[in-house]
Copies of this chain bind each other. A is one copy, B any other.
Amino acid sequence: MSTHHLVPTVWHNVLGSMPVALRIESGDTVLTQTLDAIGDDKDGISRAHGPNPMNGPVYIEGAEPGDSLRVEILEMRPIRERGWTRAALAGNVVDPERVRSLPPRDRTEWLIDAEAGTVRLESPPPLLDYLSLPFEPMIGCFGVAPSLGQAFSTATSAENGGNMDYRGFGPGTTAWFPVFVEGALFFLGDCHAVQGDGEIVGTGVETPMEVTVRLSVEKFRRHNWPRGETSDEIFTVGNARPLDQALQHATTEMLDWLTADYGLDATGASHLMGQAIRYRVGNVFDPAYTMVASLEKRFLPPRQG
Contact = CB atoms under 8 A, between A and B. Distances in A.
Interface residues of A, number: 87
> Within the oligomer, what is the number of copies of this chain?
4
Given A91-B95, A91-B96, A119-B275, 8 more contacts: A14-B150, A16-B150, A85-B271, A92-B97, A96-B96, A125-B264, A128-B264, A240-B287
Contacts of A91: 95-97, 99-100
A247 B100 contact: no
A65 to B, nearest CB: 14
A276 interface: yes
Interface stretch (A24-32, A56-64, A69-77, A248-256): A248-256
Closest 10 CB pairs of A and B: A91-B96, A201-B274, A99-B99, A243-B243, A242-B242, A279-B281, A196-B277, A92-B96, A151-B151, A91-B97
Contact of A194 (B121, B266, B275): B275
What is the interface of chain A mostly: helix, strand, loop, or mixed?
mixed
A17 B72 CA distance: 33
A12 B148 CA distance: 9
Contact of A248 (B93, B196, B265, B276): B93
Nearest to A149: B14
A203 interface: yes
A20 interface: no
Contacts of A86: 270, 274
Given A100-B91, A100-B100, A196 B275 contact: yes
Contact of A276 (B96, B133, B301): B133
Interface in A273-300: 273-281, 284, 287, 289, 299
Interface string A134-162: 00000000000000111111000000000
B275 A205 contact: yes
Given A89-B274, A108-B271, A275-B194, A98 B252 contact: yes
A133 B275 contact: yes
Nearest to A269: B89
A16 to B, nearest CB: 6
A200 B242 contact: no
A95 B242 contact: no
A275 B199 CA distance: 7
Nearest to A274: B201
A25 to B, nearest CB: 28
Contacts of A93: 247-248, 251
Contacts of A284: 244, 247
B197 A279 contact: yes
Contacts of A287: 240
A89 to B, nearest CB: 5
A268 interface: yes
A90 interface: yes
